[in-house]
A and B are shown apart, each in its own frame.
Chain A
């Protein structure tokens, strides 16, 4: 296959040979182009360029005839380059790849090139996923997604693809270290925190429940992160995620540990600063947990403390969420008033 050298992939490169319309190509003379019919009075009419019109007129022709040929395959490359979001053009390209029994490794190189230019397009990632499935070869996925993540470590498409490959081909080894590196670079990278949860859920949990050394390791890691940046919502959410997925037998102990941690922070933090809002919110939640589990030795006081935190949040620390914290305070009263009498 000399596909890449004959078409747009090299057209846009430095050599820049002049573009020849399909209608002027002798080797396409046998094909009758099929113009688009957009109805008598189209809406969202597109002022197509000559090139776009020409390529798609011929695309329609080979789509209609279902011609299986190298030239058809190469034409789909021009079609998707002009519009990487055209799901029909991608679908037809895959049809041709299959029919031609084409070299899929070469196609992997091609899609790498396309994704580099369009890392936030749904269709290009879908194409890559299908190729990996066809090849049953995920060996390039971890490295490739790592490279694309280095441009934007929060690109949702990349994480989605990476998680898919990891789950489908069991590629969890080394991922925790990778995530740790990303968090070292940016401790606020929420995608990396989520990936951490994804990894430990798959490798270190019993049906999604954490316990023992793993749980302790994760609690320590998260608490250290919070000590570094108090107002980091990502880390607080992770801590809450750990508590909510702690094995029943260790729950009481974990809650105590977290309570202690929070109270320690509370002693030293600037209670009027917005950076304390996550801390105060977590303390409200921990009081709720205790009341809910009837673990509180003094429910009346705990309820009062939780409500006082809500009041501080509403008034001083987190006034943009005043309505929410006032609702929380009322909600607490409804839920736990009877207990605290």
Chain B
């Protein structure tokens, strides 16, 4: 792939945001994923759907063909709900990331033995929120039970009831799900808060778990989870001050995710989101805005999409998180993203 030639050479005039091309790029991802990506995407199709759809809702409305098309919205809702699984015996429910286990003859295989993956449940509910779906056909009580089944004694959450890793990502997902279904019975908030506080590293930021290195992604997840639980005040004043310092220190030309690591487009959202939630000083958008030239340089101006750096090739995750980050910087024309939920704000009713 000749992506390198697609980037504007550094001595050229400052590039603008290629909104039209990014819209096409996001739409393509919602349609067909080429064979070469089957191995990376098949179990994570819900995430790809989220990045594509959420990206379109960040773009100016005239570039979002989904918003005003009831047929397309219905198609998306229908497909997302094919990934809904419920364990009837345990009373759990959740979403899968792909249809690996769905068959015409037998429906979802052994559907009663698993209740999906908490990250996919989060992205599915986020998509349904964007599509204004009232969660028809989903059992909110079972979704809350699905979350409850994942919480461990240390307060963290497993990715799935079948086992799997537990880290800060899933703490975030559990709280975002609870927010979407307006049912917090699945989260023991005191224990969840305890886990987040335990995962604050000596550096000031939050790691994926206790003793782990502070990281931009997990710092966002921990802070957003605290905010969603309305427990941001659980941070002591010293913790809060160190957290702010660690976050602002991530700024270079772009944001990096850890000290002495390279800048990367995705941290525009993770650090931009963390700082927006912390809201330490006036005009955070202006602070984030300093990375705009870096982010714009990572655009592929031919095919659309953003990459993690100016010499990389575009992918759907960095495309979405770059756009969402620019939205936090109040980039002209982009719709506002709700930092805690990582989706464009719904203008019809407050979220």
Binding site for B on A (CB under 8 A): 34-49, 52, 56, 59-60, 63-64, 82-89, 91, 122-123, 125-126, 130, 154, 156, 159-160, 163, 167, 188-191, 194, 197-198, 201, 232-234, 237-238, 240-241, 244-245, 281, 320-321, 323-324, 326-327
Within the complex, what minimum Cβ distance (angstroms) separates A144 from chain B?
Answer: 18
The 9 A-B residue pairs with the shortest CB-CB distance, nearest first, are A241-B202, A327-B281, A194-B213, A188-B260, A233-B259, A37-B104, A43-B79, A39-B82, A86-B43
Segment 46-86 of B: residues with Cβ below 8 Å from A: 48-49, 52, 75-76, 78-80, 82
A121 to B226, CA, bound (A): 27
A291 nearest CB across to chain B (Å)? 13
The verdict on B40 contacting chain A, using a C-beta distance below 8 Å, is yes
B212 x A163 contact (CB < 8 A): yes
Q: Determine if B165 and A43 form an interchain contact, defined as CB atoms under 8 angstroms apart.
A: no
A296 to B75, CA, bound (A): 67
Is the C-beta of B162 less than 8 angstroms from some C-beta in chain A?
yes
A-B contact count (CB 8 A): 208
Residues of A within 8 A of B163 (CB): 91, 126, 130
> Is A88 a contact of B43 with CB atoms below 8 Å?
yes
Is A198 in contact with B76, judged by CB distance below 8 angstroms?
no
- Chain B residues with a Cβ under 8 A of chain A: 29-35, 37-45, 48-49, 52, 75-76, 78-80, 82, 96-106, 109-110, 114, 117, 159-160, 162-165, 167, 201-204, 208-209, 211-215, 238, 242, 244-246, 248-249, 251-252, 258-261, 280-283, 286-287, 290
Contacts of A63 in B (CB 8 A): 101, 109-110
Q: Which residues of A contact B204 (CB under 8 A)?
A: 237, 240
Cα A82 to Cα B106 with chains together (Å)? 24
A86 and B212 in contact, given A37-B102, A64-B103, A190-B258 (Cβ under 8 angstroms): no
Check A36 against B103 for contact (C-beta < 8 Å).
yes
CA distance A41 to B79 in the complex (A): 7
Chain A residues in 8 Å Cβ range of B208: 156, 160
Taking a contact as CB atoms under 8 Å apart, the answer to whether B202 and A197 are in contact is: yes
With A154-B261, A191-B213, A323-B286 as known contacts, state yes or no: A122 contacts B43, CB within 8 Å: no
Known: A43-B30, A63-B109. A327 touches B280 (CB 8 A): yes
Instruction: From A44, A244, A321, give the contact of B45 (CB < 8 A).
Output: A44
